[in-house]
């Protein structure tokens, strides 16, 4: 998680274009608009120059201005620059109003360009890039037809007298080329609609809201361009009206593109998908991936705040170091009710504040659950460890008690008994005294027996002292039924393992005596594949009841605390098999 992913195209941070550049472009756009009006009004061949200039400015200036704003707000998105280029490219067509031959020729060459540019911009939304080969072919073909065929037409002398490109005067051929050109471009515009519909389908439900909106609003623009071009080709009388309406629609488009680009809908869509991902209760790694997708940052790191350790950690509990200032990474703190929950380490989102805020909000809601989950897991792990420690500490304490009994009370009682015996000899002649002393010695002998039983109950000292194999001999000999004991251990094992195994056998044999009504039992102890395997099998009635269950529960605790497991098979009438497997590698 901590290793940074390789830089990714969409997530690479792009330097903000300098404000002076943006201002210069905006001013250039205004200058171009002014120029357009100047050209129209100084033209010797334009009817209604004001209207024509306004129409052209209507479709150029919004592109430039929208492009500047888009570039400013989304510096890593190529759509802004594309809109700027589109605006200036379309502006070129206004040169055809110039009276001088050269600008007139240039302007004429770019007369049909706005249609191709619009198709390009339309298909490149919202990334600024054409996404499929078909889209690139369509746009390439549109440019070729719009400019290439225009140049051919001009070479055939198909337009006015000042055309510098005219080589021959073949008006009929020029007309034919123009028809082909207009039909081709309009067909490509309609194909653009088909491509968008296809994109909408393949994007699936999650991209539909804004994709649908764009297609619905600007599919109209493409259709109108197609109609306009066909009207030109077939010289329909309503051409001029269609042209004006079409320009009107095309002029609105960049504003809509800009809104689409900057609209929080984009952020909302990312966050909406994030919430869908989160609702599916993702696995921890998927949770991080969901945020990585929402923020378009594959190297995103999700760190949880662990208050009890006062440190950051990933979901596996490994510590995470948050990057410092100047690392090029941004950190978003996720708090819940004023309590720190987690942190997202991601690419800077200074220019997408809406996205950052929306993702933060989603994270605040969802991560608390994840953190609690992680905390619960951590506690569970800790609990497992502490169960082991508690059992081990208990065992150590019992061992200490047992040793104290043996080395203290028991030794003293034996010495006392010995003293009494020596006294007995000294009072050999006094029968009353000797019988009293002997009674006392018998009492001591009984106490010693009881003490021994108590000590054995506290801790099986023979296991610690002499190993499992030796200890099991007595258990098997004292067993409630004939027992076949097989111990296959080459060396001593860790003491707590041996003690656990001892208790498994002793408790199981006690159960055999109490409940099984068995005729015989076997005890097998062996080490295999890094495991100590203890198995106690009887031929009794099976169907262990709940009373047996509690004893088995204690055994299971002991075995599980050592990372092992205890299993019991006890079918009715089929005997009982208790099997403990404890790792001992």
Task: In angstroms, give the least distance from the CB of 459 to another protein.
Answer: 11
Q: Pick the stretch among 78-86, 154-162, 362-370, 457-465 that binds another protein (CB under 8 A).
A: 457-465
Q: Pick the stretch among 25-33, 209-217, 240-248, 417-425 that binds another protein (CB under 8 A).
A: 417-425
Task: In angstroms, give the least distance from the CB of 520 to another protein.
Answer: 6
Per CB under 8 A, which of residues 435..454 are in contact with another protein?
441, 444-445, 448-449, 452
Distance CA 32, CA 40 (A): 12
Nearer to another protein among residue 94 and residue 417 (C-beta): 417
113-124 vs 239-262: helix crossing angle, rounded to 10: 30
Q: Pick the stretch among 29-37, 231-239, 464-472, 563-571 that binds another protein (CB under 8 A).
A: 464-472
Contact yes or no for 102/164 (Cβ under 8 A) = yes
Nearer to another protein among residue 373 and residue 539 (C-beta): 539
Distance CA 168, CA 154 (A): 9
Whether the bond between 108 and the residue before it is cis, its omega within 30 degrees of 0, is: no
Distance CA 580, CA 536 (A): 9
**Among 464, 523, 525, which Cα is nearest to 496's?**
464
Q: Pick the stretch among 64-72, 118-126, 416-424, 563-571 that binds another protein (CB under 8 A).
A: 416-424
Task: In angstroms, give the least distance from the CB of 584 to another protein.
Answer: 19
Task: In angstroms, give the least distance from the CB of 385 to another protein.
Answer: 27
458 binds another protein (CB under 8 A): no
DSSP designation for 407: I
Distance CA 12, CA 102 (A): 43
Give the one residue of 77, 163, 417, 570 binding another protein; rule: CB under 8 A: 417
Encoded one letter per residue, x for contact with another protein by CB under 8 A and - for no contact, window 504-523 reads: ---------------xx---
Contact yes or no for 294/273 (Cβ under 8 A) = yes
Contact yes or no for 230/186 (Cβ under 8 A) = yes
Q: Pick the stretch among 20-28, 69-77, 89-97, 472-480 that binds another protein (CB under 8 A).
A: 472-480
Give the one residue of 98, 471, 509, 582 binding another protein; rule: CB under 8 A: 471
Q: What are phi and psi of 265, to 5 degrees?
A: -55, -40
495-511 vs 468-477: helix crossing angle, rounded to 10: 10
- How large is the C-alpha radius of gyration of the chain? 45
Question: Is 567 strand, coil or helix?
Answer: strand
Give the one residue of 265, 387, 456, 579 binding another protein; rule: CB under 8 A: 456
**Among 18, 120, 21, which Cα is nearest to 79's?**
120
Task: In angstroms, give the least distance from the CB of 317 to another protein.
Answer: 38
Q: What is the dihedral of CA 514, 516, 520, 521, to 10 degrees?
A: -90
Encoded one letter per residue, x for contact with another protein by CB under 8 A and - for no contact, window 380-409 reads: -----------------------x--xx--
Count the residues of the shown chain that bind another protein, applying the rule CB under 8 A.
Answer: 43
Give the one residue of 420, 436, 489, 541 binding another protein; rule: CB under 8 A: 420
> In the chain, what are the helix, strand and coil shares in percent, each to the nearest 5?
65, 10, 25
Task: In angstroms, give the least distance from the CB of 300 to another protein.
Answer: 56
Nearer to another protein among residue 193 and residue 509 (C-beta): 509
Distance CA 34, CA 40 (A): 10
Give the one residue of 419, 430, 450, 547 binding another protein; rule: CB under 8 A: 419
481 binds another protein (CB under 8 A): yes
Q: What are phi and psi of 529, to 5 degrees?
A: 50, 45
465 binds another protein (CB under 8 A): yes
Alpha-helical (H) ranges within 333-352 are: none
Distance CA 107, CA 114 (A): 12
Task: In angstroms, give the least distance from the CB of 465 to another protein.
Answer: 4
494 binds another protein (CB under 8 A): no
Task: In angstroms, give the least distance from the CB of 505 to another protein.
Answer: 13
Q: Pick the stretch among 58-66, 310-318, 456-464, 573-581 that binds another protein (CB under 8 A).
A: 456-464
Task: In angstroms, give the least distance from the CB of 495 to another protein.
Answer: 10
Task: In angstroms, give the least distance from the CB of 449 to another protein.
Answer: 8
Question: Is 217 strand, coil or helix?
Answer: helix
Q: What are phi and psi of 583, to 5 degrees?
A: -60, 135
Nearer to another protein among residue 347 and residue 441 (C-beta): 441
**Among 25, 58, 56, 64, which Cα is nearest to 39's?**
56
Distance CA 84, CA 92 (A): 13
426 binds another protein (CB under 8 A): no
Distance CA 312, CA 319 (A): 6
Give the one residue of 412, 439, 565, 567 binding another protein; rule: CB under 8 A: 412
| Bridge partners of residue 531, in order along the sequence | 528, 583
Structure tokens given for 318: 């490994």
Nearer to another protein among residue 402 and residue 581 (C-beta): 402
Give the one residue of 206, 379, 439, 478 binding another protein; rule: CB under 8 A: 478
Residues in touch with another protein (CB under 8 A): 403, 406-407, 410-412, 414-415, 417-422, 425, 441, 444-445, 448-449, 452, 455-456, 461-462, 464-466, 469-474, 477-483, 519-520
């Amino acid at each position: 998680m901590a290793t940074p992913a390789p830089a990714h195209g969409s997530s690479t941070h792009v330097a903000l274009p300098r404000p002076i550049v943006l201002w210069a472009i905006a001013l250039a756009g205004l200058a171009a608009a002014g120029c357009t009006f100047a050209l129209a009004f100084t033209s010797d061949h334009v009817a209604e120059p004001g209207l024509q200039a306004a129409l052209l400015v209507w479709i150029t200036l919004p592109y430039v201005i929208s492009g500047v704003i888009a570039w400013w707000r989304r510096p890593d998105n190529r759509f802004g620059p594309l809109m700027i280029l589109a605006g200036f490219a379309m502006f070129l067509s206004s040169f055809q109003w110039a009276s001088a031959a050269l600008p007139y020729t240039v302007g004429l060459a770019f007369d049909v360009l706005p249609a191709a540019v619009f198709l390009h911009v339309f298909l490149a939304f919202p990334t600024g890039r054409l996404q499929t080969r078909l889209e690139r072919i369509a746009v390439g073909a549109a440019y070729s037809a719009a400019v290439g065929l225009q140049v051919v037409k001009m070479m055939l002398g198909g337009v006015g007298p000042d055309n510098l490109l005219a080589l021959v005067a073949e008006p009929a051929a020029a007309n034919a080329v123009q028809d082909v050109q207009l039909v081709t471009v309009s067909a490509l515009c309609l194909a653009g609609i088909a491509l968008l519909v296809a994109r909408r389908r393949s994007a699936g439900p999650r991209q539909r809201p804004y994709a649908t909106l764009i297609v619905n609003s600007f599919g109209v623009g493409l259709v109108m361009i197609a109609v306009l071009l066909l009207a030109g080709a077939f010289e329909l009388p309503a051409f001029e009206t269609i042209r004006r309406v079409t320009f009107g629609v095309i002029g609105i488009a960049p504003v809509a593109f800009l809104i689409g680009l900057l609209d929080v809908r984009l952020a909302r869509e990312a966050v909406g998908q994030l919430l869908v991902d989160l609702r599916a209760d993702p696995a921890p790694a998927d949770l991080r991936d969901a945020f990585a997708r929402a923020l378009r940052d594959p190297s995103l790191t999700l760190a949880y705040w662990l208050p009890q350790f006062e440190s950051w950690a990933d979901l596996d509990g490994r510590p995470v170091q948050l990057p410092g200032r100047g690392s090029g990474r941004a950190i978003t703190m996720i708090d819940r009710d004023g309590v720190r929950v987690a942190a997202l380490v991601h690419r800077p989102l200074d220019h997408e504040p809406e996205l950052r805020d929306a993702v933060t909000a989603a994270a605040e809601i969802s991560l608390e659950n994840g953190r609690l989950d992680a905390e619960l897991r951590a506690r569970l792990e800790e609990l497992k460890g502490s169960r082991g420690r508690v059992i081990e500490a208990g065992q150590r304490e019992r061992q200490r008690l047992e040793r104290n009994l043996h080395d203290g009370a028991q030794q003293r009682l034996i010495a006392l008994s010995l003293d009494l015996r020596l006294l007995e000899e000294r009072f050999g002649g006094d029968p009353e005294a000797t019988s009293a002393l002997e009674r006392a010695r018998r009492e001591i002998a009984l106490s010693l027996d009881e003490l021994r039983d108590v000590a054995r109950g506290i801790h099986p000292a023979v296991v610690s002292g002499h190993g499992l194999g030796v200890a099991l001999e007595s258990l098997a000999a004292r067993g409630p039924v004939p027992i076949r004991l097989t111990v296959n251990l080459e060396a001593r094992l860790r003491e707590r393992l041996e003690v656990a195994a001892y208790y498994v056998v002793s408790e199981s044999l006690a159960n055999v005596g109490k409940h099984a009504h068995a005729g015989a039992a076997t005890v097998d102890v062996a080490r295999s594949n890094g495991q100590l395997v203890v198995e106690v099998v009887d031929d009794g009635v099976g169907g262990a009841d709940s009373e047996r269950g509690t004893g088995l529960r204690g055994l299971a605790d002991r075995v599980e605390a050592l990372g092992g497991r205890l299993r019991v098979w006890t079918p009715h009438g089929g005997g009982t098999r208790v099997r403990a497997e404890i790792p001992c590698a």
